[in-house]
Amino acid sequence: MVSSKKDGRLIKKYPNRRLYDTRTSSYITLSDVKELVLAQEEFQVVDAKSSEDLTRSILMQIILEEESAGMPIFSVNVLAQIIRFYGNAMQGLMGTYLEKNIQGFMDMQTKLQKQSEALMSSNKGLVNQEAWTQFMAGQAPMMQNLMSSYLDQSQKVFLQMEEQMQANTRNVMSSFVFPRGDERPASKSKND
């Protein structure tokens, strides 16, 4: 989503909180930015004075509006769990884990969409009752396979995270020198 100014659309945020789209030379709203996201357009939002990248902040605002507006994606419990990861040793891994899981879910959704498009194209855009019944009958096993694939991918990501944590722990712990159980710490002499 974030792109360099050369590749994508540059949106400037002014102190009055207005967003200016440099491609269309016009002011836009948060809803317009949401439409760019839905259209999968590359863009970057920067502070008009400091050129600080504000893209994440704007995307978080859109998520906040969506979560407040209708049917939220995140339950209170999920939001609380996410908050607990901030400052936690797992914080760095959590972002990767969520990103990989969302990508796996999107892949599953794309497969389902392609299958339904194939059904529509074979019937010139019309779905007869028999074709629809066959399609729906195949959905349960297909969804089961897609979910299985998604869960396998999720498990692999989790195992990779666990391996990375173990490697990080080994690296940190190897820098410490621990006395063996049968050794006593050297006593300090009066001259030390």
Is residue 4 over pLDDT 50?
no
Query: Does residue 146 have a pLDDT over 90?
Result: no
Strand locations in the chain (E) = 9-13, 19-21, 26-28, 43-47
Q: How many helices (H) and strands (E) does the chain have?
A: 5, 4
With a cut of 50, say whether residue 69 has pLDDT above it.
yes
Reported as a pLDDT band with limits 50, 70 and 90, residue 24 is very high
The CA distance from 1 to 4, in Å, is 10
Beta bridge partners of 28: 19
Q: Count CB atoms within 10 A of the CB of residue 91.
A: 11
Residue pLDDT, tens place only, 88-143? 888 888 888 888 888 888 887 788 777 777 666 665 655 556 666 666 676 667 76
Q: How far is CA 111 from the centre of its chain?
A: 19
Question: What would the mean pLDDT of 33-58 be, rounded to a whole number?
Answer: 96
Quick check: 27 and 14 in contact, CB under 8 A?
no
Higher pLDDT, 70 or 67: 67
pLDDT of residue 119: 65
% residues pLDDT > 70 (the chain): 76
Residue 116: count of CB within 10 angstroms of its CB: 13
Per-residue exposure over 94-114, b if at least 16 CB sit within 10 Å of its own CB, e if not: beebeebbeebeeebeeeeee
Q: Residues near 6 by Cβ (< 8 Å), separated by ≥ 6?
A: none
> What's this model's pTM, rounded to 2 decimal places?
0.62
Q: Which amino acid is at 127?
A: V
